[in-house]
Structure 1
């Protein structure tokens, strides 16, 4: 723990109330992964897309994942209904409304343009709809939001460069770049040159590493890609030297407990290492990843992992503060969010 804030002792029976009330920053949300089955079917009908599922219930029943790839297969099928700018706007606004109900006040949305441009959807359509939703989220939901463009790591470096080229006219609407999709077999160094170019363009850089992949992928994300945050990173516990580095350098980890459980990284949530990461001094945060598929948005992730692992109010405060400190926002906004976090915790004394 690194904060000097005097965290109050909150009895176990009041902890869920505190977890729901605390303001939150979400730093690991794939906006395409927030597409609920009901919205998938509504957009399919609007756009005349035929789905390989009879109804909403049949689609939900397909959400039985054994690993990351089994999830990605359904994830990409669901994204096929996104064709018009309004579709991307409506998808993001549906997420923002759910996030606001969970007291999320800052969100940085991952989006996968290659999933859409490969289907003939222009980059302008994707960014236009998402950016308009980010603007509306501030007014309607009180959420500061920004966009992080992710490269699909199962595709080639050349494909990533082409995507970056298509995104150049819209960089004023994008705060950073990330790396997602199938981790095993696609090490970070595969994208070293495109990430270097993104750094030259002034974009923040983050990368998925150490979810199913080994600790070596986290080292590569840091040293080769110059990643400022590690998305997931839970496999770091198997490398003591890496744990020391992450703690001393205050490298944020955007951990996703329910995702980890659903994809069998931790088959039992009680075995999750979130508490161990925090107690080792790492800058861990809680996020929802792909909430429509993994069964929970921000409050669900907090409530379930705390109930399963016995984390307490001190852990809750550190997780909340870590997320604000790790966010790509202004110092003034960051301090305002932390002051609000402090006020909520003070109210539980």
Structure 2
């Protein structure tokens, strides 16, 4: 039996099939509603074969619908296959280093559950441009200052930071507030809104309750545009749109490209 998508009921659904359908959805959204979207393909840290397949798909769909590659799953402690490199397998490191050679953008979950050294090794060995969460980096001042100097982007998610225990409920100053005050390159997201039950407005309100001023939230929007995994012209379009929304007409230090 053939369904409307051209698949038989007995046919195995592959990653490539899913990506083709997602690409069609993106194209329709842009054509009908002017909405642009891209995918970021995640792989697990304990499955080298999956990581290699994800890299292949990132390369194939790089200029079509995929913006980059990511590494998910929680930190599980030092990996026995690669002494001294927390939570990382040699094969996965090779995948991300190959992605860098191919010009494929890279991010990974780190610093949410593991120690600061995990953040350091993920950034170094995976050649990351962004990190998911990264809160533990503030516990190592030398590492933290190095990340600030390099402009590594922190993908922060306020509500989930409490739900996962990444940030203790009794924390005096949330690391995101420290990121803002230290002029770190960070943005604000909902993580998984289906699980957290939150919207971006909820995330903003939580940070405001924690002492984050509106100015820092606006700056986070520009940080997100500056660090998004898009071609330069598309980044510039987003940046210019934000400047128009916030009424910024003069030249400032908010530059879209670094």
TM-score bracket relative to the smaller structure: 0.7 to 0.9
2:194 alignment counterpart: 292
2:205 and 2:97 mapped to 1: Cα distance? 38
1:189 alignment counterpart: 88
SS in 2 for 1:206: strand
SS in 1 for 2:30: helix
Q: Is the 8 A contact 1:231 1:253 kept in 2?
A: yes
Q: Is the 8 A contact 1:232 1:253 kept in 2?
A: yes
Deviation at 1:223, TM superposition (A): 1.1
Deviation at 1:254, TM superposition (A): 0.5
1:158 alignment counterpart: 49
Deviation at 1:217, TM superposition (A): 1.5
- Are 2:34 and 1:145 aligned? no
TM-score under structure 2 length normalisation? 0.79
1:200 alignment counterpart: 101
Q: Is the 8 A contact 2:69 2:104 kept in 1?
A: yes
Return 5+ residue gaps in structure 2 as ranges: 7-11, 80-85, 249-258
Q: Is the 8 A contact 1:177 1:204 kept in 2?
A: yes
Q: Is the 8 A contact 2:55 2:69 kept in 1?
A: no
Q: Deviations over 1:195-252 (max 9, x none)?
A: 1222233211111110111111211122111011111111111010111111111111
Deviation at 1:277, TM superposition (A): 1.0
1:108 alignment counterpart: none
| Alignment CA distance shift 1:194-1:331 (3 Å) | closer
Return 5+ residue gaps in structure 1 as ranges: 1-83, 87-119
| Alignment CA distance shift 1:188-1:176 (3 Å) | farther
2:228 alignment counterpart: 327
User: How many positions carry a matched residue from both structures?
Assistant: 229
Deviates more, 1:163-172 or 1:328-337: 163-172
* 1:57-96 matched pairs, under 5 angstroms: none
Q: Deviations over 1:105-126 (max 9, x none)?
A: xxxxxxxxxxxxxxx5312222
- Are 2:26 and 1:134 aligned? yes
Deviation at 1:189, TM superposition (A): 3.5
2:119 alignment counterpart: 218
- Are 2:238 and 1:346 aligned? no
Q: Deviations over 1:147-192 (max 9, x none)?
A: 1111112x33234224434665444432211100122336353221
Q: Deviations over 1:250-279 (max 9, x none)?
A: 111000111112212225387522111111
| Alignment CA distance shift 1:141-1:291 (3 Å) | farther
Report which of the two has the higher share of helix.
Answer: 1
* 1:110-125 matched pairs, under 5 angstroms: 120-125=12-17
Q: Is the 8 A contact 2:67 2:230 kept in 1?
A: no
2:222 and 2:53 mapped to 1: Cα distance? 37
| Alignment CA distance shift 1:265-1:170 (3 Å) | same
1:233 and 1:214 mapped to 2: Cα distance? 10
Deviation at 1:325, TM superposition (A): 0.5
Higher relative contact order (CA 8 A, sep 6+): 1
1:343 and 1:169 mapped to 2: Cα distance? 35
Deviation at 1:141, TM superposition (A): 4.6
Q: Is the 8 A contact 1:206 1:228 kept in 2?
A: yes
Deviation at 1:138, TM superposition (A): 2.5
